[in-house]
Structure formats: C-alpha cells, structure tokens
Amino acid sequence: MRTADRRTVLGLHRSRHRRDLLSDALDLGVTAIDTASNYLGHHSHRTLATVAGDLLPKFSISTKVGYFEDGHSLLPERLRHAVEKTAKDLGHEPGTILLHNPEHSAPDAETLTHACAALVDATAAGLCEHWGISTWDPRPLVGLDAPRPDVLMVRSGLLVSNRVLDAAEALVTWWRPAAVWGMSPFGGSATAPVWARVEPRTFLRVPAATTVQAAFRVAFALPRVDAVAVSTDDTGHLRELLGGLAYEIDTEVLRSYRQLLRQST
Ligand SMILES: NC(=O)c1ccc[n+]([C@@H]2O[C@H](COP(=O)([O-])OP(=O)(O)OC[C@H]3O[C@@H](n4cnc5c(N)ncnc54)[C@H](OP(=O)(O)O)[C@@H]3O)[C@@H](O)[C@H]2O)c1
C-alpha cells in the first residue's frame, strides 16, 4: 500500500509463506513482497510458486541472491545461475533482484563491480526488471565503486546505529540509486525488550498512533527511504501498520535525534 510516497513491502524473512496472508495483503493493497533465495531454508521461491503461483503476477516481487547452501559467494557465474534459477523456481520473472549482503564476503571494488555486473547483465537479458544491492551493514561498502543500482536496500528505523545510518546515506550519495528501500523496522521483533524503553510516538506531529505504527512510520524517515520491507505473519498486524502510514513526522524531533545520535558515537 502506498500513502504519498510511502510503500509497504511485505518481507518474507520470518514468514511461513501462507497463501492466506499473501491474499490478505493484496486485499489490503500491499502489492510488493520481498524474499531471498535462502529464505525458508532455501525453499522460499519454490514454496511461493506452489502455494500462491496464481497470486504472484499480482505482486511486484523483489528477491536476493548471494547466499547459497554452501555459504555466501559473489562469483558472477554463481550469481547468474542463481538469478536464472530464481525465475524458474518462481515460475515468474521477479521485478527486482538484489545482491544480498555483499559485505558478507568483504569484497574489494573489483569483486563488487563484477558481482553487480552479473545482475546488470541478467537485467539486460530480461531475467528481471531491475537490480540492486541489499546490505545489512553498509559500512564496509562505503567508498567502493559499483555500477549505479536501481535499488539500494538498507536497514531503517529507530534501532539503526548512527554509524550504519551514516554509511547508508554515504552509499546513497556515492551510488545514486534510483530508489532507496528500508528494511527490518523492528530489528526482527516488535516485542523485544528495547521497545519498552523507547517512545516512537515522540517523532510524530500528532502522537495518536500506536507504538508499532509510530516505529514503522519512523522507518521511512531514518534514513529517508521510498519503501520499507516489514515481516509479519499476521493480517491484523499488517492492517495496523498500514493504518499508521498517514501520520506525519515531526522533522525537528528527527533532526535533534540524529544530532544526539552523532554526539553519542
Ligand atoms: N540483509 C537483508 O537483505 C535483510 C535483512 C533483514 C531483513 N530484510 C528484509 O526486511 C524484512 C523485515 O525485516 P525483519 O524480518 O528483520 O523483521 P521486522 O520487520 O523488523 O520485524 C518483524 C517482526 O515484527 C512483528 N510485527 C510486525 N508488525 C507488527 C504489529 N503490527 N504488531 C506486533 N508485531 C508486529 C512481526 O510479528 P508478527 O508476525 O506476529 O506480526 C515480526 O516478528 C524481511 O522480511 C526482509 O524482507 C532484509
């Protein structure tokens, strides 16, 4: 679902890949899903095709390659093969293929460029519409040359450290991606003890949202991103998140928060 320029992507990292949730998401206006070749024990693509093959054409699908059953690799031929297998397993060409956490293999600029080139070539060959880079920890990538990605996906929200935020913003400036997506707005759990110690509603101009709505809304602004991938296996939770998209951020509070974060590192 899109409110102004805020697009919600249903992330499948922690998902059981249930058909009813995918169907409910469509009913709620969520038309983007994000997965990876290694999600669901490396069975995500085939499972999606099996349980919801008829629904997949209604979604814009992003997925990632880089993790294989024997570990992480940036070898171009392995990535190219993984992209081909993705389309075959899904029974459907994905909208976006992302290089999954390239920092995991500590690449130099040449290795990163060759890995990206495999995805650029796959896009040119029509195996996907767009390509990009998804990075959990962007710090080792800062300063490395790479082809300009269509999408850069980075962590977003209140649990992201100042160093990671700075690195993500540096990559946006350096690589100039056409779109920036956020991910993991709750750091993987909306019930982790940390959420009892923060008040995300402070960041809203009108603090009438629920805590999770406010935390989700902040994830579009910290850093500034066009879309946020969030995991949920619960339709009610997804509905709640969507209900918070319209709240506006208090930019003064956000600016002060970034200043405080910088001072504390
Ligand atoms: N390196 C990478 O590329 C990378 C790494 C991490 C994540 N991601 C992407 O980002 C997506 C999201 O990140 P994440 O999986 O780390 O998790 P997350 O979205 O930060 O948190 C997911 C958790 O939040 C809970 N939640 C969501 N909405 C809720 C609500 N309204 N009320 C209460 N609880 C709620 C979910 O529980 P319920 O199921 O009970 O709702 C789930 O346990 C992933 O699926 C993936 O697409 C990418």
The pLDDT tens digits for 118-133 are 999 999 999 999 999 9
Q: Could you say which DSSP state residue 122 is in?
A: H
- Which of 105, 154, 183 has the most ligand 1 atoms within 8 A of CB, as the residue to mutate? 183
- Asked if 127 and 96 count as a contact pair (C-beta separation under 8 A), the reply is no
Q: Is 255 helix (H, G, I), strand (E, B) or coil?
A: helix
Alpha-carbon gap, residue 265 to 255, rounded angstroms: 16
* Residue 186 CA, ligand 1 centroid: distance in Å: 6
Whether 181 shows a pLDDT value over 80: the answer reads: yes
Percent of the chain with pLDDT over 70: 98
Using pLDDT thresholds of 50, 70 and 90, give the confidence band for residue 6.
Answer: confident
- The confidence score (pLDDT) of residue 64 equals 98
- The confidence score (pLDDT) of residue 3 equals 61
Q: Residues 231-265: pLDDT tens digits?
A: 999 999 999 999 999 999 999 999 999 999 999 87
Using pLDDT thresholds of 50, 70 and 90, give the confidence band for residue 92.
Answer: confident
Whether 5 shows a pLDDT value over 70: the answer reads: no
Query: How far from chain centre, in Å, is Cα 170?
Result: 18
For 227, the enclosing helix (H) or strand (E) is strand 227-231
The protein residue with its alpha carbon nearest to ligand 1, atom 47, reads: 11
- The confidence score (pLDDT) of residue 2 equals 58
Q: Is 66 helix (H, G, I), strand (E, B) or coil?
A: coil
Angle (deg, nearest 10), helices 109-124 and 76-90: 40
The protein residue with its alpha carbon nearest to ligand 1, atom 29, reads: 237
- Which of 9, 156, 232 has the most ligand 1 atoms within 8 A of CB, as the residue to mutate? 232
Sign of CA dihedral 77, 81, 86, 91: positive
The protein residue with its alpha carbon nearest to ligand 1, atom 6, reads: 184
Using pLDDT thresholds of 50, 70 and 90, give the confidence band for residue 83.
Answer: very high
Q: Residues 20-71: pLDDT tens digits?
A: 999 999 999 999 999 999 999 999 999 999 999 999 999 999 999 999 999 9
Q: Could you say which DSSP state residue 61 is in?
A: E
Amino acid at 256: S
Q: Which fold is adopted by the domain 2-263?
A: TIM Barrel (3.20.20)
* Residue 190 CA, ligand 1 centroid: distance in Å: 8
The atom number, within ligand 1, closest to the CA of 35 reads 47
Alpha-carbon gap, residue 258 to 176, rounded angstroms: 22
Q: Could you say which DSSP state residue 131 is in?
A: E
- Which of 156, 186, 233 has the most ligand 1 atoms within 8 A of CB, as the residue to mutate? 186
Q: Residues 198-237: pLDDT tens digits?
A: 999 999 999 899 999 999 999 999 999 999 999 999 999 9
Alpha-carbon gap, residue 246 to 4, rounded angstroms: 8
* Residue 88 CA, ligand 1 centroid: distance in Å: 27
Query: Tokens 């992302």 appear where?
Result: 98
**Direct distance between the N- and C-terminal alpha carbons of the chain, in angstroms, rounded to an integer:** 36
Query: Tokens 């980075």 appear where?
Result: 154
In sequence order, the 6+-apart residues with CB closer than 8 A to the CB of 4 are none
Whether 4 shows a pLDDT value over 60: the answer reads: no
The protein residue with its alpha carbon nearest to ligand 1, atom 1, reads: 136
Using pLDDT thresholds of 50, 70 and 90, give the confidence band for residue 103.
Answer: very high
Helices (H), the chain: 19-27, 39-42, 44-52, 76-90, 109-124, 162-175, 211-218, 235-243, 251-263
How much is the pTM? Answer: 0.97
Q: What is the CA radius of gyration of the chain?
A: 18
Alpha-carbon gap, residue 162 to 249, rounded angstroms: 19
Alpha-carbon gap, residue 2 to 246, rounded angstroms: 10
The protein residue with its alpha carbon nearest to ligand 1, atom 32, reads: 237
* Lining residues, ligand 1, CB within 6 Å: 11-14, 34, 64, 100-101, 134, 136, 153, 183-190, 212, 229-234, 237, 240-241
Alpha-carbon gap, residue 211 to 197, rounded angstroms: 11
The phi-psi region of residue 158 (left if phi > 0; otherwise alpha if psi is between -120 and 50; otherwise beta) is alpha
* Residue 84 CA, ligand 1 centroid: distance in Å: 27
